Amino acid sequence: MGTDPLQELEQIADDAATAIRQAASLKGLEEQRVAWLGRKSRLNELMKHIPSLPADQRGAFGKRMNEVKASVESALSSRRDTLAASPARAPLDVTLPGSAIPQGRLHPITQTIQSILALFVPMGFEIVEGPELEFEYYNFDALNIPKDHPSREGFDTFFIDRPSPDPTRGRLLLRSHTSPVQIRVMEQRQPPLRIVVPGKVYRPDPLDPSHSFMFHQVEGLMVDGRTSFADLKGVLDRFLKALFGPDTKTRFRPHFFPFTEPSAEVDIACASCRGSGCSTCGRKGWLEIMGCGMVHPNVLKAVRYDPQRVQGFAFGMGVERIAMLKHHIADIRLFFENDLRFLEQF
Ligand code: PHE
């Protein structure tokens, strides 16, 4: 032992205090305990030198030695308390349930559109989209809705207040239905043709529980040399049974649309009252679900198809209405308010 034993003792006291304060875990602290108080510790080594000290110094040295040991012990125990109380340092308890990672989801309208499309794709329909900013020609004229004709009033429309980039196609507007995409596709392609068209449409309706100035439609169109009204009924009946359940009853009720002839509205038997009449269906027993019909010869002529050689059917449905019926939602505005308490239910 080169240095003075008393000086060495004080050095050990200092080193131990620093090392113990820095122990970062209970395991690390246990290593410190062994290092400073164990059999091979510097204190234990130093103890062996007591007999070689001058007799008058032994008592004081031994006393100081005990004090240092006691202070190391108390430093260990206070550090142990600190580490045990700190949650960040607490050992991982693998039996506790994990904390859930919040997960995003698709908007209920997107989900409804996807499930509608997924039912038509296996029947051979191709998904197509078209512009929301549309020309008067596609939204009305080519669909056999002539200017000044009263049927145009059935489709209240937002017109765009600026000069049309192509006056031969009329004014610009926000499309009031997805039917103009029928025209755009037929202009570009020849039959046979089967398409479904999802998208946003706009009508200047005041907001109320069943109206919104923006909503979604899915349009369908099938054209070839022989497609009949029976095919239309078959496709839509199959679609509605797949969407609302195999026991769903459907009915086709005569109606008028300028772009189809004959035209029909499709109803499903009210699921709440099974046809006997309740508040959901307004005591009618039936819920109106979509419009449809055989493509009008004037529409075929507008895209230079020969009505003598090709024919087809078209249909259109409101997505919000279908989602509301499927999920028993009473107010269309819930879809657009983005309240997470509503959206997280889907
Ligand atoms: N476009 C019609 C509407 O918005 C729906 C429809 C589409 C009807 C195709 C018949 C055929 O009301």
Average pLDDT of the residues in 204-210 = 92
Indicate whether 222 and 271 sit together in one domain: yes
Indicate whether 210 and 338 sit together in one domain: yes
- Structural domain of 184: 108-130+174-343
- Sheet arrangement for strand 214-224: 126-127, 193-202, 214-224, 311-318, 286-295, 260-269, 250-257
Distance 256 CA to ligand 1 centre (A): 10
Q: Is 47 among the domain residues?
A: yes
Residue 109 has pLDDT above 80, yes or no: yes
The pLDDT value recorded for residue 84 is 82
Instruction: State the Cα–Cα distance between residues 247 and 206, nearest whole angstrom.
Output: 36
Domain count, the chain: 2
Mutate to test the pocket of ligand 1, among 144, 185, 232, 259 (most ligand atoms within 8 A of CB): 259
Q: Is 169 among the domain residues?
A: no
Nearest atom in ligand 1 to 292's CA: 10
The pLDDT value recorded for residue 120 is 98
The pLDDT value recorded for residue 26 is 87
Q: What is the pLDDT of residues 234-286, one digit of tens each?
A: 999 999 999 999 999 999 999 999 999 999 999 999 877 877 888 878 888 99
Indicate whether 115 and 70 sit together in one domain: no
Listed residue (19, 74, 33, 308) closest to 191, CA to CA = 308
Residue nearest ligand 1's atom 7 by CA = 316
Indicate whether 73 and 203 sit together in one domain: no
Q: Is 163 among the domain residues?
A: no
Indicate whether 254 and 327 sit together in one domain: yes
Indicate whether 34 and 75 sit together in one domain: yes
Indicate whether 283 and 205 sit together in one domain: yes
Q: Which residue has the higher pLDDT, 11 or 179?
A: 179
Distance 263 CA to ligand 1 centre (A): 9
The pLDDT value recorded for residue 115 is 98
Residue 146 has pLDDT above 70, yes or no: yes
Mutate to test the pocket of ligand 1, among 196, 255, 257 (most ligand atoms within 8 A of CB): 257
Average pLDDT of the residues in 291-310 = 98
Indicate whether 251 and 328 sit together in one domain: yes
Indicate whether 29 and 121 sit together in one domain: no
Q: Is 91 among the domain residues?
A: no
Indicate whether 43 and 115 sit together in one domain: no
Indicate whether 73 and 183 sit together in one domain: no
Indicate whether 122 and 229 sit together in one domain: yes
Residue nearest ligand 1's atom 6 by CA = 316
Residue nearest ligand 1's atom 9 by CA = 315
Using a 6 Å CB cutoff, which residues line ligand 1? 177, 179, 219, 257, 260, 291-293, 314-316
Sign for the CA dihedral angle at 200, 141, 127, 251 comes to positive
